[in-house]
Each structure stands twice: as C-alpha cells, then as structure tokens.
Amino acid sequence: MDRNNTHMLSEILNQIAKEEKFHSGLQRQKVFNAFDLVIGKSAASYVISHELKRGVLYCTMGSSVVRSELYPSLERIRKGVNSALQDEIVKKIVLR
C-alpha cells in the first residue's frame, strides 16, 4: 500500500464544499455564530434573524433596548466577527 497521495481530511472537506456549492452556506453560518459569540449570550437571545448579503450583515432584533445598546459598538462588533473568522467578510452591520 503506497501512501504518496495523502491529504488532510479538512482539505478534502473544503474541496468538496466548494465543488458542491456548500461553501457559501457554511461561511454564512460561521458569520452568524461569530456574531452571536461576539455580542454575548444575553444579547444574542434577542436576535430574531440574520441575513448576509454582499458583505452586509442584517440582524433583526426583538428588543429595541438591546438594539440601541449595541449601536455604539457596531464597529467593534464587526471587527470582532471578522477577527473570529480570520477573514474580512463582514463590511457593515445593520440592526433592524
């Protein structure tokens, strides 16, 4: 048995995800998870829905109080999300 053609499992899974068009969906889910992680459990519990379009993360909040508390720190949250993803995916965050 010859092992010249070995690959890491993560490389194979990434390749399959790109070929099968799963990559964008997986990346979108990673963005949503990173956003919830950065804002914390208590604030994340008020997020009704997430949407990522052309680098803009739209988040519908169930509480106007939580939304107004997050507004001053949107840039810090955006940087935290991109830092967690180790990529510059989110260009802007819009809270609804």
Q: Tell me the pLDDT tens digit for each residue of 50-68.
A: 999 999 999 999 999 999 9
| Residue 4: partners with Cβ closer than 8 Å, 6 or more residues away | none
Estimate to the nearest angstrom the gap between the alpha carbon of 42 and the chain centroid: 18
Residue boundaries of the structural domains of the chain: 9-95
Low-confidence stretches of the chain (pLDDT < 70) are 1-3, 17, 20-22
Indicate the helix (H) or strand (E) that contains 53.
strand 47-53
Domain 9-95 has CATH 3.40.720: no
pLDDT computed for residue 42 by the predictor = 95
* Amino acid identity at 17: A
pLDDT computed for residue 67 by the predictor = 96
Note the pTM of the prediction, 2 decimals.
0.79
